[in-house]
Amino acid sequence: MKRFILEKSGKEFYTSHSGLALVGACINRFTDFKKRINDVSPRSGGISHADIVRGYLGLLCLGKSDYEAITDRREDRYFQTSLGLSVVPSAETLRQRFDAEADLFRIVTNYCAVDFVKRAQGLVTPLENGYVPLDIDVVPMDNSDTKKEGVSRTYHGTDGYAPIAAYLGQEGWCLELELREGKQHSQDEFIPFLSRVLSSARRLTQAPVLVRLDSAHDALDTRAELAGHAGVDYVLKWNPRKQETAAWLSRAQTQGREVPAREGKRVWLWSETVPQKKDGEDYTFRRVVRLTQRTIDKRGQCLLSPEITLEGWWTSLSGDAFSDEQVISLYQGHGTSEQFHSEFKTDLDIERLPSGKFATNALVLSMAAFAYNILRFIGQLGLLGERTPVRHAAKRRRIKTVIQELIYLAARMIESGRRLRLRFSRHCPAFEAFKKVYGTLFAKPAYG
């Protein structure tokens, strides 16, 4: 191989992250973020609040969450220009401003994260049955060996936080990511969160919504709250809680219908109506029950005594329109939210939160939700369909793929006649996708 001669240009300016031009366009054209943040916390003199938050959003979209990552961008004119910053803040300024204004910044960021999807007209794709899925789940984050405020034992058996997230549509738009202490039970303060995200969902779609929840939220309060929202149905995993399986086996044999299964395994499935009362009001709920009896395990080993598994799902879906099997299948789609969790924790690098203060880390999570929606939208525009870098067919692209293909794209910035140009390599495989996204962002009418 030939040896390269290494040179450093004295005048030319190159960037390894030209995709920040797409991020800046999303923030500044499709939200009134700057106005809102200045309205809730006016400031005269020094670096503006808007520059502080937009600078950190830029870092998150590069997959960096630590404050120190901003230090390398202070002399990066492209970072400043693409995000529309008057000045790039220092790591110390980021930390101090976030600590001082965390609660106010978080309110604005939570609103704009959803408002962006609405203003940019992001697709909210329903399921085949016409329902738009709304998946809500807890996201344990390991912050072991730290003394951060709110870190405690999570149900995963590690010390950390247990934030709760809500994702809408098959795209997985994040409606809210709320920080919680690790020891906080999933159902604690859940009803206010549920009410907020249902309101946010209505800002993005008028289609019927299907809420999918795991057994941690199996409570009469949850079902009663969901019953009070028009156009909202749910599938909620039942928590049997010390039920006597032998008694349920007897019920299965008399009430259930046996469905085909492998040798050594018998499965019964049925629906039942369960009346309950709350605050003097009568409710009637449908519960789909599945009982499985195994005498031979999946490896062909005969068991000394039968193994009985009891499962169930609460649902507001009518038995006439949705069979027991369809209800179970709809709940299984809830597992997709685990992928969204991993995109936050690994692709955006926010599992180990940067601050020792709980309120500041709560702000970081809300900003991560904003950055996640921006990157999801960019991926939706640029990495699906024709003229995209070669990838397998998919309904959406992982956040890491968006960062790799469109955000970390090398280019040369050229300033001429008061105009800025981005010049890409002749072999740039993502140029057409980048050009398509950038053109679409500026073809859409800006906010307001």
> Is the same domain home to 144 and 279?
yes
Model pLDDT, residue 279: 86
Whether 313 and 400 share a structural domain: no
Q: 3-class SS at 194? A: helix
Domain boundary among 347, 363, 387: 347
Q: Which two tokens stand for residue 324?
A: 């027991």
Three-state DSSP at 132 gives: strand
CB atoms within 10 A of CB 314: 24
Angstrom CA distances, 47 to 85, 88, 338, stand at 9, 8, 38
Whether residue 209 lies inside any domain: the answer is yes
Same domain, 314 and 407: no
Q: Which residues contact 436 (CB under 8 A, 6 or more apart)?
A: 381, 382, 387
- 4 found inside a domain: no
Report the alpha-carbon distance of residue 249 to residue 264 in Å, rounded: 16
Within 10 A of 188 (CB to CB), how many other CB atoms are there? 11
User: For position 447, what pLDDT does the model report?
Assistant: 66
Among 347, 370, 388, identify where a domain stops: 347
Work out how many domains the chain is built from and give that number. Answer: 2
**7 in any annotated domain:** no
Are 65 and 196 part of one and the same domain? no
- Asked if residue 363 belongs to a domain, the reply is yes
In single-letter form, the type of residue at position 243 comes to: Q
- The pLDDT value given to residue 40: 83
Q: What does the longest C-alpha to C-alpha distance in the chain come to? A: 84
Domain membership of residue 375 (yes or no) is yes
Residue 156 lies in a domain: yes
What domain range is 251 assigned to?
132-347
pLDDT by 10-residue block (mean), the chain, 448 residues: 83 89 95 88 84 95 94 92 94 95 95 96 94 96 95 94 97 97 95 97 97 96 94 96 90 93 94 92 95 93 93 96 96 92 93 95 97 96 76 79 93 86 89 91 76
Q: Which amino acid is at 345?
A: K
Residues 188, 244, single domain; the answer is yes
| Two tokens, residue 397 | 């692209």
Task: Indicate if 208 and 316 belong to the same structural domain.
Answer: yes
Q: Please check whether residues 254 and 166 belong to one and the same domain.
A: yes
- Has residue 3 been placed in a domain? no
Reported pTM: 0.93
Q: Confirm whether 384 is domain-assigned.
A: yes
Say what the pLDDT of residue 443 is.
Answer: 85
